[in-house]
Structure 1
Amino acid sequence: MSEPTYNSTTERVQTWLDGRTLHIRFNNPARHNALSVDMWEAVPPLLAQAQDDDRVRLVVFSGAGDKAFVSGADITQFEDMRAAKEAVAYYEKMAETTLMGIADFPKPTLACIRGYCIGGGVNVAISCDIRIASTDSVFAIPAARLGLGYRYSAMKNLVDLIGPGAAKDLFFTARRIDATEAKSLGLVSRVCESDALPALLAEYASAMADNAPLTVMAGKAITREILKPSPELDHALCASLIRGCFESADYTEGRTAFMQKRKPVFNGR
Protein backbone atom coordinates (compact mmCIF):
# COMPACT_ATOMS: atom_id res chain seq x y z
CA MET A 1 0.00 0.00 0.00
CA SER A 2 1.48 3.35 -1.03
CA GLU A 3 2.01 6.17 1.46
CA PRO A 4 -0.45 9.09 1.21
CA THR A 5 0.75 12.23 -0.56
CA TYR A 6 0.11 15.85 0.39
CA ASN A 7 -1.83 17.94 -2.10
CA SER A 8 -2.68 21.59 -1.47
CA THR A 9 -6.06 22.96 -2.51
CA THR A 10 -4.35 25.98 -4.10
CA GLU A 11 -1.14 26.59 -6.02
CA ARG A 12 -0.49 29.51 -3.66
CA VAL A 13 0.33 27.02 -0.91
CA GLN A 14 3.05 24.49 -1.72
CA THR A 15 3.59 21.38 0.35
CA TRP A 16 5.98 18.44 0.40
CA LEU A 17 7.32 15.81 2.78
CA ASP A 18 11.08 15.72 3.32
CA GLY A 19 12.00 12.83 5.57
CA ARG A 20 9.97 13.38 8.75
CA THR A 21 9.33 17.07 8.07
CA LEU A 22 6.20 18.35 6.32
CA HIS A 23 6.81 21.68 4.60
CA ILE A 24 3.97 24.16 4.04
CA ARG A 25 5.15 27.13 1.97
CA PHE A 26 3.09 30.24 1.26
CA ASN A 27 3.53 30.90 -2.45
CA ASN A 28 2.33 34.37 -3.38
CA PRO A 29 5.70 36.06 -4.06
CA ALA A 30 4.27 38.74 -6.36
CA ARG A 31 2.51 40.10 -3.25
CA HIS A 32 5.27 39.19 -0.77
CA ASN A 33 3.30 36.06 0.19
CA ALA A 34 0.32 38.08 1.43
CA LEU A 35 -2.39 35.70 2.62
CA SER A 36 -5.35 35.32 0.29
CA VAL A 37 -8.53 33.47 1.19
CA ASP A 38 -7.52 30.29 -0.61
CA MET A 39 -4.18 30.28 1.25
CA TRP A 40 -5.89 30.44 4.65
CA GLU A 41 -8.27 27.66 3.64
CA ALA A 42 -5.52 25.35 2.35
CA VAL A 43 -3.76 24.88 5.70
CA PRO A 44 -6.31 23.04 7.93
CA PRO A 45 -6.74 19.98 5.67
CA LEU A 46 -2.97 19.60 5.39
CA LEU A 47 -2.61 19.69 9.17
CA ALA A 48 -5.47 17.22 9.58
CA GLN A 49 -3.67 14.78 7.30
CA ALA A 50 -0.31 15.34 9.02
CA GLN A 51 -1.79 14.75 12.47
CA ASP A 52 -2.57 11.13 11.56
CA ASP A 53 0.61 10.55 9.56
CA ASP A 54 3.23 8.80 11.70
CA ARG A 55 5.93 9.86 9.24
CA VAL A 56 5.50 13.51 10.23
CA ARG A 57 7.45 14.69 13.28
CA LEU A 58 7.67 18.41 12.41
CA VAL A 59 5.66 20.87 10.30
CA VAL A 60 7.59 23.84 8.88
CA PHE A 61 5.93 27.01 7.58
CA SER A 62 7.90 29.24 5.21
CA GLY A 63 7.42 31.79 2.43
CA ALA A 64 8.39 31.44 -1.21
CA GLY A 65 11.32 33.52 -2.44
CA ASP A 66 13.72 35.58 -0.36
CA LYS A 67 11.63 38.72 0.25
CA ALA A 68 8.95 37.64 2.68
CA PHE A 69 7.61 35.01 5.03
CA VAL A 70 4.12 36.55 5.00
CA SER A 71 3.53 40.28 4.53
CA GLY A 72 -0.04 40.35 5.86
CA ALA A 73 -3.40 40.11 4.11
CA ASP A 74 -3.69 40.18 0.32
CA ILE A 75 -5.06 43.70 -0.13
CA THR A 76 -6.59 42.83 -3.50
CA GLN A 77 -9.21 40.92 -1.49
CA PHE A 78 -9.33 43.42 1.36
CA GLU A 79 -12.35 45.37 0.16
CA ASP A 80 -14.41 42.35 -0.85
CA MET A 81 -13.57 40.13 2.11
CA ARG A 82 -13.32 42.54 5.02
CA ALA A 83 -15.51 45.57 4.30
CA ALA A 84 -19.00 44.16 4.76
CA LYS A 85 -20.05 42.93 8.19
CA GLU A 86 -20.79 39.40 6.95
CA ALA A 87 -17.47 39.23 5.11
CA VAL A 88 -15.59 40.35 8.22
CA ALA A 89 -17.24 37.59 10.23
CA TYR A 90 -16.32 35.00 7.61
CA TYR A 91 -12.75 36.22 7.19
CA GLU A 92 -12.16 36.30 10.94
CA LYS A 93 -13.62 32.83 11.43
CA MET A 94 -11.48 31.48 8.59
CA ALA A 95 -8.26 33.03 9.89
CA GLU A 96 -9.07 31.98 13.46
CA THR A 97 -9.68 28.39 12.37
CA THR A 98 -6.34 28.23 10.59
CA LEU A 99 -4.31 29.91 13.31
CA MET A 100 -5.87 27.90 16.13
CA GLY A 101 -5.36 24.79 14.04
CA ILE A 102 -1.64 25.56 13.93
CA ALA A 103 -1.50 26.41 17.64
CA ASP A 104 -3.43 23.28 18.68
CA PHE A 105 -1.65 20.92 16.30
CA PRO A 106 -0.26 18.18 18.58
CA LYS A 107 3.12 17.85 16.85
CA PRO A 108 5.88 20.50 16.80
CA THR A 109 5.56 23.39 14.35
CA LEU A 110 8.24 25.81 13.21
CA ALA A 111 8.13 29.13 11.34
CA CYS A 112 11.19 29.59 9.13
CA ILE A 113 11.22 33.35 8.51
CA ARG A 114 13.07 35.34 5.89
CA GLY A 115 12.13 38.88 4.92
CA TYR A 116 8.84 40.54 5.78
CA CYS A 117 6.84 39.02 8.64
CA ILE A 118 4.00 41.50 9.01
CA GLY A 119 0.50 41.37 10.50
CA GLY A 120 -0.95 37.98 9.59
CA GLY A 121 2.61 36.75 9.13
CA VAL A 122 3.34 37.44 12.80
CA ASN A 123 0.08 35.68 13.69
CA VAL A 124 1.14 32.58 11.78
CA ALA A 125 4.63 32.69 13.29
CA ILE A 126 3.49 33.06 16.89
CA SER A 127 0.99 30.23 16.42
CA CYS A 128 3.98 27.97 15.81
CA ASP A 129 6.04 26.43 18.60
CA ILE A 130 9.41 27.66 17.34
CA ARG A 131 10.50 30.62 15.20
CA ILE A 132 13.85 30.99 13.46
CA ALA A 133 14.73 33.95 11.25
CA SER A 134 17.35 35.35 8.94
CA THR A 135 19.06 38.62 9.85
CA ASP A 136 17.28 40.43 6.99
CA SER A 137 13.82 39.72 8.45
CA VAL A 138 11.45 42.54 9.45
CA PHE A 139 8.54 42.25 11.89
CA ALA A 140 5.51 44.47 12.59
CA ILE A 141 1.90 44.34 13.77
CA PRO A 142 0.20 47.23 11.90
CA ALA A 143 -3.37 46.75 13.21
CA ALA A 144 -3.45 50.20 14.87
CA ARG A 145 -2.57 51.84 11.55
CA LEU A 146 -5.52 50.17 9.87
CA GLY A 147 -8.14 50.46 12.58
CA LEU A 148 -8.94 46.76 12.51
CA GLY A 149 -9.66 44.54 15.49
CA TYR A 150 -6.98 42.15 16.72
CA ARG A 151 -8.41 38.85 17.90
CA TYR A 152 -8.14 37.76 21.53
CA SER A 153 -6.35 34.55 20.57
CA ALA A 154 -3.70 36.43 18.56
CA MET A 155 -3.13 38.94 21.34
CA LYS A 156 -2.91 36.15 23.91
CA ASN A 157 -0.34 34.30 21.80
CA LEU A 158 1.71 37.50 21.57
CA VAL A 159 1.48 38.29 25.29
CA ASP A 160 2.23 34.68 26.27
CA LEU A 161 5.30 34.74 24.03
CA ILE A 162 6.94 38.11 24.74
CA GLY A 163 5.10 39.47 27.78
CA PRO A 164 2.55 42.30 28.12
CA GLY A 165 5.08 45.16 28.08
CA ALA A 166 6.76 44.21 24.82
CA ALA A 167 3.43 43.19 23.28
CA LYS A 168 1.89 46.59 24.02
CA ASP A 169 4.99 48.36 22.71
CA LEU A 170 4.76 46.60 19.33
CA PHE A 171 0.97 46.76 19.14
CA PHE A 172 0.41 50.37 20.19
CA THR A 173 3.18 51.83 18.01
CA ALA A 174 2.83 49.44 15.02
CA ARG A 175 6.57 49.99 14.53
CA ARG A 176 8.83 47.72 12.53
CA ILE A 177 11.64 45.85 14.24
CA ASP A 178 14.59 43.89 12.87
CA ALA A 179 15.55 40.30 13.62
CA THR A 180 18.01 41.29 16.35
CA GLU A 181 15.35 43.12 18.34
CA ALA A 182 12.84 40.35 17.64
CA LYS A 183 15.25 37.87 19.21
CA SER A 184 15.90 40.13 22.21
CA LEU A 185 12.14 40.29 22.83
CA GLY A 186 11.73 36.52 22.49
CA LEU A 187 9.63 36.87 19.34
CA VAL A 188 12.06 34.50 17.58
CA SER A 189 14.29 31.82 19.09
CA ARG A 190 17.35 32.00 16.87
CA VAL A 191 18.71 34.29 14.15
CA CYS A 192 21.32 33.63 11.49
CA GLU A 193 22.55 34.99 8.17
CA SER A 194 20.21 34.21 5.30
CA ASP A 195 22.60 31.75 3.67
CA ALA A 196 22.81 29.78 6.94
CA LEU A 197 19.03 29.49 7.38
CA PRO A 198 18.67 26.15 5.54
CA ALA A 199 21.33 24.58 7.77
CA LEU A 200 19.65 25.91 10.92
CA LEU A 201 16.32 24.54 9.73
CA ALA A 202 17.96 21.17 9.01
CA GLU A 203 19.25 21.12 12.59
CA TYR A 204 15.69 21.31 13.92
CA ALA A 205 14.38 18.78 11.40
CA SER A 206 17.10 16.35 12.43
CA ALA A 207 16.40 16.81 16.14
CA MET A 208 12.67 16.21 15.69
CA ALA A 209 13.35 13.12 13.57
CA ASP A 210 15.61 11.66 16.26
CA ASN A 211 13.81 12.62 19.47
CA ALA A 212 10.98 10.65 21.06
CA PRO A 213 7.74 11.95 19.51
CA LEU A 214 5.49 11.00 22.43
CA THR A 215 7.73 12.91 24.85
CA VAL A 216 7.77 15.96 22.59
CA MET A 217 4.00 15.92 22.06
CA ALA A 218 3.39 15.46 25.79
CA GLY A 219 5.58 18.48 26.50
CA LYS A 220 3.64 20.56 23.99
CA ALA A 221 0.27 19.50 25.42
CA ILE A 222 1.32 20.22 29.01
CA THR A 223 2.67 23.64 28.03
CA ARG A 224 -0.70 24.42 26.45
CA GLU A 225 -2.45 23.47 29.69
CA ILE A 226 -0.12 25.74 31.69
CA LEU A 227 -1.02 28.71 29.48
CA LYS A 228 -4.80 28.27 29.57
CA PRO A 229 -6.68 31.46 30.53
CA SER A 230 -8.33 32.17 33.85
CA PRO A 231 -11.99 31.12 34.22
CA GLU A 232 -12.81 34.76 35.05
CA LEU A 233 -11.89 35.86 31.52
CA ASP A 234 -14.69 37.84 29.82
CA HIS A 235 -14.70 36.40 26.30
CA ALA A 236 -17.89 38.29 25.43
CA LEU A 237 -16.22 41.61 26.25
CA CYS A 238 -13.21 40.74 24.09
CA ALA A 239 -15.45 39.80 21.17
CA SER A 240 -17.49 43.00 21.58
CA LEU A 241 -14.39 45.19 21.56
CA ILE A 242 -13.07 43.56 18.39
CA ARG A 243 -16.48 43.81 16.70
CA GLY A 244 -16.58 47.51 17.58
CA CYS A 245 -13.27 48.07 15.79
CA PHE A 246 -14.47 46.39 12.59
CA GLU A 247 -17.78 48.28 12.65
CA SER A 248 -16.15 51.68 13.19
CA ALA A 249 -15.63 54.59 10.81
CA ASP A 250 -11.95 54.39 11.75
CA TYR A 251 -11.72 50.91 10.24
CA THR A 252 -13.27 52.21 7.01
CA GLU A 253 -10.77 55.08 7.03
CA GLY A 254 -7.83 52.77 7.80
CA ARG A 255 -8.76 50.37 5.03
CA THR A 256 -9.34 53.18 2.51
CA ALA A 257 -6.08 54.95 3.39
CA PHE A 258 -4.16 51.70 3.08
CA MET A 259 -5.58 51.09 -0.40
CA GLN A 260 -4.85 54.70 -1.40
CA LYS A 261 -1.33 54.55 0.08
CA ARG A 262 -1.86 57.59 2.31
CA LYS A 263 -1.71 58.27 6.03
CA PRO A 264 -5.05 57.58 7.74
CA VAL A 265 -6.84 60.17 9.85
CA PHE A 266 -8.58 58.48 12.78
CA ASN A 267 -11.30 60.10 14.90
CA GLY A 268 -11.99 57.39 17.45
CA ARG A 269 -15.46 56.74 16.06
Structure 2
Amino acid sequence: MTEQARVTLEVAAGIARLTFDHPRRMNAITGAMWRALPGLLDQVADDPAIRVLLLQGAGERAFCTGNDISEFEAIRADAAQSAAYNAWQRDVAARMAALEKPAIAAIHGHCLGAGLELALQCDLRFASPEARMGVPAVRLGLPYRLEDIAKLVDVIGLAQTRLMVLTGRSFAGAELERMGLVTALLPDRAAMLDAAEEAAAEIAAAAPLALRAAKAALFEIARRDAPPDLARAQALADACYDSRDYAEGRAARREARPPRFTGR
Protein backbone atom coordinates (compact mmCIF):
# COMPACT_ATOMS: atom_id res chain seq x y z
CA MET A 1 0.00 0.00 0.00
CA THR A 2 1.33 3.43 -0.93
CA GLU A 3 1.76 5.72 2.05
CA GLN A 4 -0.38 8.83 1.87
CA ALA A 5 1.49 12.08 2.49
CA ARG A 6 -0.74 14.37 4.51
CA VAL A 7 -1.06 16.97 7.20
CA THR A 8 -3.60 16.19 9.91
CA LEU A 9 -5.29 18.43 12.46
CA GLU A 10 -6.85 17.17 15.67
CA VAL A 11 -8.46 19.42 18.27
CA ALA A 12 -9.01 18.58 21.94
CA ALA A 13 -9.16 20.63 25.14
CA GLY A 14 -8.31 23.87 23.35
CA ILE A 15 -5.19 22.43 21.68
CA ALA A 16 -4.93 21.98 17.90
CA ARG A 17 -2.36 19.30 17.04
CA LEU A 18 -1.05 19.67 13.50
CA THR A 19 0.99 16.67 12.39
CA PHE A 20 3.26 16.29 9.36
CA ASP A 21 2.46 12.71 8.38
CA HIS A 22 4.80 11.40 5.69
CA PRO A 23 7.13 9.05 7.62
CA ARG A 24 8.51 7.24 4.55
CA ARG A 25 10.04 10.57 3.44
CA MET A 26 10.82 11.68 7.02
CA ASN A 27 7.76 13.97 6.98
CA ALA A 28 8.95 15.97 3.98
CA ILE A 29 6.27 18.35 2.72
CA THR A 30 4.78 17.59 -0.68
CA GLY A 31 3.10 20.12 -2.93
CA ALA A 32 -0.28 18.74 -1.89
CA MET A 33 0.64 19.19 1.78
CA TRP A 34 1.65 22.81 1.15
CA ARG A 35 -1.70 23.45 -0.53
CA ALA A 36 -3.57 21.85 2.39
CA LEU A 37 -1.83 23.86 5.10
CA PRO A 38 -3.54 27.26 4.55
CA GLY A 39 -7.00 25.79 5.11
CA LEU A 40 -5.88 24.02 8.28
CA LEU A 41 -4.25 27.17 9.64
CA ASP A 42 -7.39 29.15 8.83
CA GLN A 43 -9.35 26.60 10.84
CA VAL A 44 -7.03 27.15 13.79
CA ALA A 45 -7.31 30.93 13.46
CA ASP A 46 -11.11 30.97 13.12
CA ASP A 47 -12.15 28.42 15.77
CA PRO A 48 -12.64 30.19 19.13
CA ALA A 49 -12.38 26.84 20.91
CA ILE A 50 -8.75 26.53 19.79
CA ARG A 51 -6.37 28.37 22.12
CA VAL A 52 -2.96 27.06 21.01
CA LEU A 53 -1.37 25.26 18.04
CA LEU A 54 1.04 22.34 18.53
CA LEU A 55 3.18 21.22 15.56
CA GLN A 56 4.69 17.75 15.50
CA GLY A 57 5.92 15.03 13.14
CA ALA A 58 4.57 11.50 12.73
CA GLY A 59 6.79 8.49 13.31
CA GLU A 60 10.11 8.12 15.08
CA ARG A 61 12.62 9.79 12.77
CA ALA A 62 11.68 13.38 12.02
CA PHE A 63 9.73 16.49 12.84
CA CYS A 64 9.90 17.60 9.20
CA THR A 65 12.77 17.43 6.72
CA GLY A 66 11.52 20.32 4.60
CA ASN A 67 10.32 20.06 1.02
CA ASP A 68 9.93 16.68 -0.66
CA ILE A 69 12.74 16.91 -3.21
CA SER A 70 11.51 13.77 -4.98
CA GLU A 71 8.83 15.99 -6.54
CA PHE A 72 11.16 18.73 -7.74
CA GLU A 73 11.66 17.39 -11.27
CA ALA A 74 7.92 17.63 -11.79
CA ILE A 75 6.94 20.78 -9.92
CA ARG A 76 10.08 22.79 -9.03
CA ALA A 77 12.56 22.23 -11.84
CA ASP A 78 13.16 25.82 -12.94
CA ALA A 79 12.63 29.45 -11.93
CA ALA A 80 9.05 29.63 -13.21
CA GLN A 81 7.94 26.51 -11.39
CA SER A 82 9.86 27.58 -8.30
CA ALA A 83 7.99 30.89 -8.21
CA ALA A 84 4.66 29.05 -7.99
CA TYR A 85 6.05 26.59 -5.43
CA ASN A 86 7.50 29.39 -3.32
CA ALA A 87 4.11 31.14 -3.38
CA TRP A 88 2.60 28.13 -1.59
CA GLN A 89 5.28 28.38 1.08
CA ARG A 90 4.87 32.13 1.47
CA ASP A 91 1.12 31.69 1.87
CA VAL A 92 1.70 29.32 4.78
CA ALA A 93 4.37 31.56 6.31
CA ALA A 94 2.05 34.57 6.15
CA ARG A 95 -0.69 32.66 7.95
CA MET A 96 1.72 31.47 10.62
CA ALA A 97 2.98 35.02 11.14
CA ALA A 98 -0.54 36.41 11.38
CA LEU A 99 -1.82 33.71 13.73
CA GLU A 100 -3.06 35.40 16.90
CA LYS A 101 -2.76 32.21 18.92
CA PRO A 102 0.48 30.83 20.37
CA ALA A 103 2.23 28.02 18.51
CA ILE A 104 4.53 25.32 19.87
CA ALA A 105 6.85 22.94 18.00
CA ALA A 106 7.57 19.49 19.45
CA ILE A 107 10.79 18.49 17.69
CA HIS A 108 12.10 14.93 17.55
CA GLY A 109 14.59 13.83 14.93
CA HIS A 110 15.36 15.84 11.81
CA CYS A 111 14.06 19.41 11.49
CA LEU A 112 15.49 20.81 8.28
CA GLY A 113 14.91 23.46 5.64
CA ALA A 114 11.23 24.33 5.38
CA GLY A 115 10.59 22.26 8.49
CA LEU A 116 12.99 24.50 10.39
CA GLU A 117 11.25 27.57 8.92
CA LEU A 118 7.93 26.42 10.35
CA ALA A 119 9.48 25.58 13.72
CA LEU A 120 11.10 29.02 13.87
CA GLN A 121 7.68 30.62 13.44
CA CYS A 122 6.48 28.91 16.59
CA ASP A 123 6.64 30.79 19.89
CA LEU A 124 8.12 27.83 21.79
CA ARG A 125 10.27 24.94 20.58
CA PHE A 126 10.87 21.82 22.66
CA ALA A 127 13.43 19.28 21.43
CA SER A 128 14.54 15.76 22.23
CA PRO A 129 18.22 14.69 22.20
CA GLU A 130 17.64 13.18 18.75
CA ALA A 131 16.62 16.55 17.27
CA ARG A 132 18.84 17.78 14.44
CA MET A 133 18.24 21.22 12.96
CA GLY A 134 19.79 22.69 9.87
CA VAL A 135 19.52 24.42 6.50
CA PRO A 136 20.97 22.11 3.80
CA ALA A 137 19.97 24.34 0.86
CA VAL A 138 23.54 25.08 -0.31
CA ARG A 139 24.22 21.34 -0.48
CA LEU A 140 21.28 20.93 -2.85
CA GLY A 141 22.04 23.90 -5.08
CA LEU A 142 19.02 25.75 -3.76
CA PRO A 143 18.83 29.37 -2.57
CA TYR A 144 17.66 29.95 0.96
CA ARG A 145 15.25 32.84 0.54
CA LEU A 146 15.86 36.19 2.18
CA GLU A 147 12.71 36.00 4.32
CA ASP A 148 13.73 32.59 5.63
CA ILE A 149 17.23 33.80 6.48
CA ALA A 150 15.59 36.71 8.29
CA LYS A 151 13.66 34.26 10.50
CA LEU A 152 16.93 32.62 11.49
CA VAL A 153 18.60 35.97 12.19
CA ASP A 154 15.68 36.98 14.42
CA VAL A 155 16.10 33.81 16.49
CA ILE A 156 19.86 33.11 16.60
CA GLY A 157 21.55 36.28 15.34
CA LEU A 158 23.57 37.04 12.22
CA ALA A 159 26.83 35.26 13.12
CA GLN A 160 25.17 31.91 13.89
CA THR A 161 22.93 32.28 10.85
CA ARG A 162 25.99 32.70 8.62
CA LEU A 163 27.44 29.48 10.03
CA MET A 164 24.24 27.50 9.54
CA VAL A 165 23.30 28.81 6.08
CA LEU A 166 26.74 28.99 4.46
CA THR A 167 27.93 25.56 5.61
CA GLY A 168 24.64 23.67 5.35
CA ARG A 169 25.50 21.96 8.64
CA SER A 170 22.97 20.42 11.00
CA PHE A 171 23.21 20.99 14.74
CA ALA A 172 22.11 18.82 17.64
CA GLY A 173 22.14 18.41 21.40
CA ALA A 174 23.47 21.18 23.61
CA GLU A 175 24.33 23.27 20.55
CA LEU A 176 20.61 23.79 19.91
CA GLU A 177 20.22 25.43 23.29
CA ARG A 178 23.48 27.35 23.02
CA MET A 179 22.45 28.82 19.68
CA GLY A 180 18.96 29.65 20.90
CA LEU A 181 17.26 27.39 18.36
CA VAL A 182 15.15 25.67 21.03
CA THR A 183 13.34 26.81 24.14
CA ALA A 184 14.33 23.67 26.00
CA LEU A 185 16.20 20.43 25.30
CA LEU A 186 14.61 17.54 27.20
CA PRO A 187 16.29 14.26 28.20
CA ASP A 188 14.25 12.01 25.89
CA ARG A 189 11.36 12.03 23.45
CA ALA A 190 8.73 11.26 26.09
CA ALA A 191 9.91 14.13 28.29
CA MET A 192 9.94 16.45 25.27
CA LEU A 193 6.35 15.57 24.37
CA ASP A 194 5.31 15.98 28.00
CA ALA A 195 6.93 19.43 28.15
CA ALA A 196 5.24 20.51 24.91
CA GLU A 197 1.86 19.22 26.07
CA GLU A 198 2.25 20.86 29.48
CA ALA A 199 3.05 24.22 27.89
CA ALA A 200 0.13 23.83 25.48
CA ALA A 201 -2.24 23.05 28.36
CA GLU A 202 -1.00 26.08 30.31
CA ILE A 203 -1.57 28.34 27.33
CA ALA A 204 -4.99 26.80 26.60
CA ALA A 205 -6.04 27.69 30.16
CA ALA A 206 -4.96 31.34 29.77
CA ALA A 207 -7.15 34.27 28.70
CA PRO A 208 -7.55 34.26 24.88
CA LEU A 209 -7.75 38.05 24.57
CA ALA A 210 -4.59 38.49 26.63
CA LEU A 211 -2.83 35.90 24.47
CA ARG A 212 -3.98 37.70 21.33
CA ALA A 213 -2.66 41.01 22.65
CA ALA A 214 0.68 39.42 23.54
CA LYS A 215 1.00 37.76 20.13
CA ALA A 216 0.21 41.06 18.40
CA ALA A 217 2.83 42.89 20.45
CA LEU A 218 5.45 40.23 19.65
CA PHE A 219 4.55 40.39 15.96
CA GLU A 220 4.84 44.17 15.83
CA ILE A 221 8.17 44.15 17.65
CA ALA A 222 9.65 41.63 15.21
CA ARG A 223 8.13 42.81 11.93
CA ARG A 224 10.46 43.83 9.12
CA ASP A 225 8.02 44.96 6.43
CA ALA A 226 6.89 48.14 8.20
CA PRO A 227 7.33 50.08 11.45
CA PRO A 228 5.59 48.51 14.47
CA ASP A 229 1.85 49.21 14.48
CA LEU A 230 1.72 50.55 18.02
CA ALA A 231 -1.93 51.58 17.71
CA ARG A 232 -2.99 48.00 16.87
CA ALA A 233 -1.05 46.59 19.80
CA GLN A 234 -2.53 49.18 22.15
CA ALA A 235 -6.09 48.58 20.91
CA LEU A 236 -5.80 44.85 21.59
CA ALA A 237 -4.33 45.55 25.03
CA ASP A 238 -7.19 47.97 25.80
CA ALA A 239 -9.72 45.31 24.77
CA CYS A 240 -8.38 43.12 27.57
CA TYR A 241 -9.13 45.77 30.20
CA ASP A 242 -12.76 45.95 29.04
CA SER A 243 -13.25 42.19 28.78
CA ARG A 244 -15.26 39.79 30.90
CA ASP A 245 -12.13 37.66 31.12
CA TYR A 246 -10.28 40.40 32.99
CA ALA A 247 -13.15 40.62 35.48
CA GLU A 248 -13.15 36.82 35.74
CA GLY A 249 -9.40 36.77 36.36
CA ARG A 250 -9.75 39.24 39.22
CA ALA A 251 -12.69 37.32 40.70
CA ALA A 252 -10.85 34.03 40.48
CA ARG A 253 -7.87 35.51 42.28
CA ARG A 254 -10.09 36.87 45.07
CA GLU A 255 -11.91 33.57 45.42
CA ALA A 256 -8.74 31.44 45.23
CA ARG A 257 -10.04 29.30 42.32
CA PRO A 258 -8.95 28.62 38.73
CA PRO A 259 -10.32 31.21 36.27
CA ARG A 260 -12.82 30.22 33.60
CA PHE A 261 -11.92 32.30 30.56
CA THR A 262 -14.28 32.51 27.60
CA GLY A 263 -12.50 34.90 25.23
CA ARG A 264 -15.00 37.69 25.77
User: Which of these residues, 170, 176, 188, is aligned with residue 182 of structure 2?
Assistant: 188
User: Which of these residues, 115, 121, 124, is aligned with residue 115 of structure 2?
Assistant: 121
Does 2:14 correspond to 1:16?
no
What secondary structure does 1:39 align onto?
helix
| Shift, 1:11, TM fit | 5.7
Contact 2:97 2:219 in 1 (8 A): no
User: Which of these residues, 42, 45, 63, is aligned with residue 69 of structure 1?
Assistant: 63
| Shift, 1:85, TM fit | 2.5
> How many Å separate the matches in 2 of 1:75 and 1:200?
32
> How many Å separate the matches in 1 of 2:225 and 2:5?
41
State the Cα deviation string for residues 184-218 of structure 1 (Å, max 9, x = none).
11111011111212211221121112211211221
In the alignment, what sits opposite 1:243? Answer: none
- Bigger shift: 142-151 or 115-124? 142-151
In the alignment, what sits opposite 2:160? Answer: 166
> How many Å separate the matches in 2 of 1:199 and 1:68?
17
User: Which of these residues, 21, 35, 40, is aligned with residue 41 of structure 1?
Assistant: 35
In the alignment, what sits opposite 2:78? Answer: 84
User: Which of these residues, 107, 111, 128, is aligned with residue 105 of structure 2?
Assistant: 111
Counting aligned pairs with the same residue, the percent is 35
Residue type at the aligned position of 2:178: S
Change (3 A) 1:201 1:230: closer
State the Cα deviation string for residues 201-250 of structure 1 (Å, max 9, x = none).
22112111221121122111111111222769xxxxxxxxxxxxxxxxxx
Contact 2:105 2:196 in 1 (8 A): no
Contact 1:103 1:129 in 2 (8 A): no
Contact 1:143 1:174 in 2 (8 A): yes
Contact 2:104 2:200 in 1 (8 A): no
In the alignment, what sits opposite 2:235? Answer: none
Task: List structure 1 segments (4+ residues) > 6 angstroms apart after TM superposition.
Answer: none
Pairs aligned (count): 223
> How many Å separate the matches in 1 of 2:206 and 2:220?
22
In the alignment, what sits opposite 1:219? Answer: 214
User: Which of these residues, 104, 129, 132, is aligned with residue 135 of structure 1?
Assistant: 129
In the alignment, what sits opposite 1:264? Answer: none
Residue ranges of structure 1 left out of the alignment (5+ in a row): 1-9, 233-269
> How many Å separate the matches in 1 of 2:22 and 2:29?
8
Change (3 A) 1:231 1:44: closer
Contact 1:139 1:179 in 2 (8 A): no
User: Which of these residues, 127, 140, 158, is aligned with residue 146 of structure 1?
Assistant: 140
| Shift, 1:170, TM fit | 0.7
In the alignment, what sits opposite 2:256? Answer: none
Contact 1:15 1:25 in 2 (8 A): yes
TM-score by length of 2: 0.80
State the Cα deviation string for residues 79-129 of structure 1 (Å, max 9, x = none).
112113321111011111112211221111111110000111111111212
What's the C-alpha RMSD, in Å, of the aligned pairs? Answer: 1.6
In the alignment, what sits opposite 1:26? Answer: 20
> How many Å separate the matches in 2 of 1:60 and 1:209?
11
Contact 1:100 1:127 in 2 (8 A): no
Contact 1:13 1:27 in 2 (8 A): yes
What secondary structure does 1:30 align onto?
helix
Change (3 A) 1:226 1:23: same
| Shift, 1:177, TM fit | 0.7
Residue ranges of structure 2 left out of the alignment (5+ in a row): 228-264
> How many Å separate the matches in 1 of 2:47 and 2:168?
39
TM-score by length of 1: 0.79
| Shift, 1:23, TM fit | 0.7
